[in-house]
């Protein structure tokens, strides 16, 4: 299968809570032949924070805290009803902000009602103030996330008469969670650290290394595949997703990314508010990449 191309919902536009704008945007992605739309998450933004954003030299995230950031699963459920085949993905959903039983239920429901179109990309989060506002301890979020990943998969794919779990953070007995996903619901791990690569190898269906160059990308992908092999999984089957810009990608750049090990490119949009301008950008990008509906 060739390279897949997805597009981030443009949070910086301030319009991702506008139902008409987002419907037109998603339908145009589908018409152009893009594989999926990807929605980021911040359960809350923080107007004054001391955490360092790791993907910009300034250490600050370039989103106004007053900018609407819809719940990703709710937005994807909305878009599922307005598209026919467009893939629906989170990227990145902040896993420690959620209870895994509730998240498993919500994700399975979106997947079932969309006809199996959901892909989760999750991470441990960088904004300490956000994670703590949601009731989780920031220092233990890695261990918590590992347990969450196991709990969700157990609820989706465990015995049909109920599953039990007694862990460090979560416990339940004989739980039955329905609906189940249409098939195996892919969960990818986002991040830029060795810990994220190891987590992807142990529990993920793919890895989305954020903000890394080609050399570091190769190192992290090797860590992921080696860890998968170590725990008895097929490391070669795990997908790698990287980021790029809508206005800068073309077939030659995409080929270089594929040569570096990428299976999917998620494209970021500038802060465009005019839907016709946004659609023109997407059409031009699709033409450069040779996409077809």
pLDDT, position 189: 99
Residue 293: Cβ-neighbour burial (10 angstroms; 0-12, 13-18, 19+) = exposed
pLDDT, position 188: 99
Of 126, 164, 122, the closest CA to residue 146 belongs to: 122
Buried b / exposed e across 120-151, counting CB within 10 Å, b at 16+?
bbbbbbbbbebbeeeebebeebbebbbbbbbb
Tokens describing residue 61: 């995230």
pLDDT, position 124: 98
Write the DSSP assignment of 208-231 as a string of letters: EE-S--HHHHHHHHHHHHHHHHHT
Tokens describing residue 188: 């990818």
| Structure confidence by residue, pLDDT tens digits, 234-292 | 999 999 999 999 999 999 999 999 999 999 999 999 999 999 999 999 999 999 999 98
Tokens describing residue 242: 């990287």
pLDDT, position 64: 84
Question: Which CATH number goes with the domain that contains 102?
Answer: 3.20.20.30
pLDDT, position 66: 86
Provide the whole-model pTM. Answer: 0.96
pLDDT, position 1: 62
With a cut of 50, list the residues of the chain below it in pLDDT.
Answer: none
Could you give the number of structural domains in the chain?
A: 1
Instruction: Look up the domain containing 100 and give its range.
Output: 4-289
């Amino acid at each position: 299968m060739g390279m897949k191309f997805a597009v981030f919902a443009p949070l910086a536009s301030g319009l991702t809570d506008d139902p008409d704008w987002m419907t037109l945007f998603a339908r145009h992605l589908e018409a152009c032949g893009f594989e999926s739309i990807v929605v980021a998450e911040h359960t809350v933004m923080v107007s004054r924070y001391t955490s360092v954003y790791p993907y910009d030299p300034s250490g600050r995230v370039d989103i106004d805290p007053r900018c609407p950031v819809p719940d990703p699963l709710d937005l994807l459920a909305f878009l599922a009803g307005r598209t026919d085949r467009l893939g629906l993905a989170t990227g990145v959903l902040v896993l420690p902000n959620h209870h895994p039983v509730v998240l498993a239920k919500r994700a399975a429901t979106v997947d079932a009602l969309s006809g199996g179109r959901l892909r989760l990309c999750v991470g441990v989060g960088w904004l300490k103030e956000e994670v703590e506002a949601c009731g989780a301890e920031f220092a233990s979020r890695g261990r918590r996330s590992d347990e969450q990943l196991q709990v969700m998969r157990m609820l989706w794919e465990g015995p049909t008469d109920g599953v039990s779990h007694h862990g460090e953070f979560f416990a339940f007995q004989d739980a039955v969670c329905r609906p189940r996903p249409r098939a195996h619901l892919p969960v990818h791990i986002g991040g830029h650290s060795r810990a994220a690569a190891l987590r992807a190898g142990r529990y993920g269906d793919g890895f989305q290394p954020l903000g890394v160059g080609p050399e570091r990308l190769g190192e992290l992908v090797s860590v992921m595949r080696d860890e998968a092999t170590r725990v008895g999984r097929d490391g070669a089957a795990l997908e790698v997703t990287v980021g790029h810009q809508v206005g800068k990608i073309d077939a030659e750049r995409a080929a270089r990314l594929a040569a570096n090990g990428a299976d999917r490119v998620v494209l970021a949009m500038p802060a465009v508010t005019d839907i016709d301008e946004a659609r023109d950008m997407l059409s031009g990008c699709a033409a450069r990449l040779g996409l077809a509906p």
